[in-house]
Structure 1
Amino acid sequence: MANETDVKTRYKVGRVLSEHDLLDLHEALPELWAGDGDESASLRALAERINVALMRQAMEEAGMDPLDGEAENAYRLLTDDDVSVGVRTQQRNRLERAGVDVDELETEFVTHQAVYTYLTKALGVTKDETDDTDPIEKHQQRIQRLRSRTAAVMENSLSELQNDGTISLGSFDTTVDLRVYCQDCESQYELSSLLQRGGCECE
């Protein structure tokens, strides 16, 4: 498994989410994109979600107290093609007067292509495009995404604790072992084995 720190340095989305401490959003990203049907968010929606979170954080750090929807509107006025140059300039000046470094903030904004690259290349997330997937395979893929995400979060936490001297740890890899125990027949299986055999010993 690639070192999590290297992944975040190599891919902009990972770096931005890490540096701005948006870890909850980082953890939710794979499931938001690869979710089923209406639960699946588009890459553009995910990029906007990240950028709005960056906008809100920048406003708060400047001492502003953005109301619900204010960060979303500020982002729209800065980036939407339908917004006039005059309105965009007014919004930019307003933010700068409040203490937001708009130039720096805009360099942190991510594109939908950057989100796609990070999800597929760094996190190994795939998205089902059809609904005729075998149900066992479908759920196995979903659980595997969660397992990969858990391993990545665990490795990230250990790396941070290691780097700041909180714990002593050499070179390491992380694994997540998922096992299922049936209380009725008192049998235990590794998850993939249970799914492949079609269940436990119960009738």
Structure 2
Amino acid sequence: MNRQRRSKVERLLDEYGLDGLGDELVASWTAEGDDRKSLRQLATEFNVALVDARLESEGVTHFDSDGKAIYEALANDDAETDRATIETRLEREGVDVEQLQSDFVTYQAIRSYVKDVRDAEYETPSDEEHIEKQKTTIQRLVSRATSVTEEKLTRLRDTGRISLGDFRLIIDFQVYCRDCETQKTVASLLDEGGCECESEES
């Protein structure tokens, strides 16, 4: 694909010397599960990186606000007092605040970069993959609940607050469907694709 001009994100990556950030944007947008970040999150992270890079280029090392706090103040129209204070202090440090603000990008600019420039695509997980992921999450929660419960019971027993011998904790979540009167473990329900309602209707 021949493009006559570079996108804003491309230009800023070069101008600010943000090597590797472009790859990070693509990786974060196409990641799976909880590791995936939205375009708005990526736009914020990109703009914070611009602030950090500008401070570094101007040799500003003693600013008591980090890049994220500075960006939020400059981008928040509702916090005029905080923004004015930050702007004044930045200008004293030699930072061109107006130029910095004009360099901030929107989530649309990030979307254009990752999709049109980098040809990245986010593949939506299949139903099977989504179910398996949720099953894993539930299993982890059950394991955590088991561990915490065992720990609390052991502590109560060892401190003489309850009477309890050598014990084994059994946590077995069951799902009961009132419509088809089917009862299954959570794992079985997910593995078998649900209860018996659909088979009874067919």
TM bucket normalised to smaller: 0.5 to 0.7
Q: TM-score, normalised by structure 1?
A: 0.57
SS of the counterpart of 1:10?
Answer: coil
Instruction: Report deviation, 1:128.
Output: 2.3
Task: Specify the alignment match of 1:44 in structure 2.
Answer: 40
Task: Specify the alignment match of 1:149 in structure 2.
Answer: none
Q: Which one of the candidate residues 40, 57, 61 is aligned to 1:65?
A: 61
Instruction: Report deviation, 1:131.
Output: 3.9
Change (3 A) 1:51 1:66: farther
Residue pairs, 1:165-184, within 5 angstroms: none
Q: Which one of the candidate residues 97, 106, 109 is aligned to 1:114?
A: 109
Instruction: Report deviation, 1:103.
Output: 0.8
1:93 lines up with 2:88 in the alignment: yes
The code of the aligned residue for 1:65 comes to: T
Task: Specify the alignment match of 1:194 in structure 2.
Answer: none
Q: Which one of the candidate residues 26, 29, 32 is aligned to 1:33?
A: 29
Q: Which has the larger radius of gyration?
A: 2
2: CA distance between counterparts of 1:79 and 1:68? 18
Task: Specify the alignment match of 2:99 in structure 1.
Answer: 104
1:14 lines up with 2:6 in the alignment: no
Task: Specify the alignment match of 2:133 in structure 1.
Answer: none
Task: Specify the alignment match of 1:174 in structure 2.
Answer: none
Instruction: Report deviation, 1:10.
Output: 2.5
SS of the counterpart of 2:53?
Answer: helix
Instruction: Report deviation, 1:58.
Output: 1.0
Change (3 A) 1:129 1:67: farther
Query: 1 or 2 for the larger relative contact order (CA 8 Å, sep ≥6)?
Result: 1
2: CA distance between counterparts of 1:66 and 1:120? 38
Counting matched residue pairs gives: 130
2: CA distance between counterparts of 1:37 and 1:64? 37
CA RMSD of aligned residues (A): 2.4
State whether residues 29 and 46 of structure 1, in contact with CA within 8 Å, keep that contact through their aligned partners in structure 2: yes
TM-superposition CA deviations, 1:75-129 (whole Å, max 9, x none): 111112442x122111111100111000111121111000001111111111123
Instruction: Report deviation, 1:20.
Output: 1.4
Q: TM-score, normalised by structure 2?
A: 0.58
Task: Specify the alignment match of 2:75 in structure 1.
Answer: 79
The code of the aligned residue for 2:54 comes to: A
SS of the counterpart of 1:126?
Answer: coil
State whether residues 32 and 41 of structure 1, in contact with CA within 8 Å, keep that contact through their aligned partners in structure 2: yes
State whether residues 74 and 101 of structure 2, in contact with CA within 8 Å, keep that contact through their aligned partners in structure 1: no
| Unmatched 5+ stretches in structure 2 | 130-202
Instruction: Report deviation, 1:13.
Output: 0.7
The code of the aligned residue for 1:74 comes to: I
**Percent of residue pairs identical:** 36
| Unmatched 5+ stretches in structure 1 | 135-203
